[in-house]
Amino acid sequence: MDPSLRTATYKPALAWFAALGTLWVFVLVTLGAFTTSIGAGMAFADWPLSNGSLNPKGWLTEPDKFAEHSHRLSASVMSTVTIILAVWLWRTEARSWLRRLAWFAVGLVLAQAIVGGLRVLLDHLQVETVDTSVGRLFAMLHACLAQLFVCTLIAITTACSRPWIESRPQGDTGPLRHAGVACCALLFGQLGIAAVMRHSFAGLAIPYFPYATAAGGFLPVAWNFRVGIHFAHRVMAAVLVVALVWFALRLWTSRAASLAMRCGASVLVSLLGLQILLGAQIIWTSRNQFMTTGHVLVGALTLATTFCLTWLAHRDAIEAKAAA
């Protein structure tokens, strides 16, 4: 490819393709969450095929097989979309950092596929010290990598958009950048805790909400690993309520924030409220599969929104560094 033909101009077809790929990743997250919620992660004991086939018997009629196989098929679509996007950017995009980011996304999606496969192939190996299987340890990693992949796709899609390419400098976004990075770090920590909790069967280790005991206490009476990880999830949730509302307030009051960023702050607070409600419903419904799936999806959307706002706040710094 002749480098002189590469441009950093807005390309509508590329921007829409990247946006549709980003939407698809949330389909993938939803299917993965539902698979875990109904305990169907081992519906097939082989990989990459399912019972040795691309069209295994019973996958359209049996819920556990449908959940797991549709998750695998959607992951294949996601891999293909990511590779096409990376090649497209490599051939047409002038910004070298964006081309590198696209190939990083390819590496992530392939690593995610391998980790997902190892979750299945190594599930028979038990780790006695932590009372779980090697496969479930890879499932925890699989969940965390999924969130990193979501953020990477959002970064690419946002950088391909017309507002990113054609907008004027925003002004001093330093305070917004620092606040956003702190919130993203907290959200990644919370999602890591949640992954460990889900795959350690600790979702109902504390079966009361908002209290931790039947008598209305805020601290559990008896402690073990599952109770501890569940309680850590609740504590981090309380921290995030404060942090995300603080971030939203900074966006609402900052002169450097665009109208889109202020609207995004409103979306973020709405997602936060919905996430709290879904978390409560998981306890009150004894871990209803749809409430649990929704909680995972809204958690991913909350991270995605926070990261997108943080990424937009970094726009001028990223482009200035690339041009230097």
Checking if the pLDDT of 63 tops 60, the result is yes
Same domain, 161 and 145: yes
How many structural domains comprise the chain? 2
Same domain, 175 and 324: yes
Domain residues for the domain of 288 are 169-324
* Distance of alpha carbon 317 from alpha carbon 197, whole angstroms: 37
CA 120 to chain centre: 21
Query: What average pLDDT does the segment 151-156 reach?
Result: 98
pLDDT of 3 reads 61
Task: Write out the H or E segment, with its range, that includes residue 126.
Answer: strand 126-127
Tokens standing for residue 128: 């006695």
DSSP state of 93: B
Tokens standing for residue 31: 């299917």
* Distance of alpha carbon 119 from alpha carbon 290, whole angstroms: 23
Percent of the chain at pLDDT above 70? 98
Phi, psi of 247 (to 5 degrees): -65, -45
Phi, psi of 132 (to 5 degrees): -150, 175
Residues in the chain: 324
pLDDT of 7 reads 78
pTM, 2 dp: 0.94
Query: What average pLDDT does the segment 143-148 reach?
Result: 96
DSSP state of 286: T
Checking if the pLDDT of 147 tops 70, the result is yes
Same domain, 148 and 175: no
pLDDT of 70 reads 96
Among 138, 166, 194, the domain boundary falls at 166
Helix (H, G, I), strand (E, B) or coil at 230: helix
Unique residue bearing structure tokens 């079966």: 207
Checking if the pLDDT of 135 tops 60, the result is yes
pLDDT of 232 reads 97
Among 142, 166, 190, the domain boundary falls at 166
* Distance of alpha carbon 90 from alpha carbon 87, whole angstroms: 5
Query: What average pLDDT does the segment 93-109 reach?
Result: 96
pLDDT of 2 reads 56
Same domain, 151 and 175: no
Same domain, 204 and 158: no
Same domain, 158 and 304: no
* Distance of alpha carbon 149 from alpha carbon 125, whole angstroms: 27
Which amino acid does the sequence have at 146? A
Band the pLDDT of 324: cuts 50, 70, 90: low
Among 147, 166, 185, the domain boundary falls at 166
Same domain, 17 and 128: yes
pLDDT of 169 reads 75
Same domain, 160 and 174: no
What average pLDDT is seen over the chain? 94
pLDDT of 51 reads 95
Same domain, 256 and 140: no
Checking if the pLDDT of 197 tops 70, the result is yes
Same domain, 251 and 160: no
Tens of pLDDT, residues 267-315: 999 999 999 999 999 999 999 999 999 999 999 999 999 999 999 999 9
Same domain, 156 and 179: no
Same domain, 298 and 267: yes
- Cis-peptide into 48, omega within 30 deg: yes
Query: What average pLDDT does the segment 218-224 reach?
Result: 94
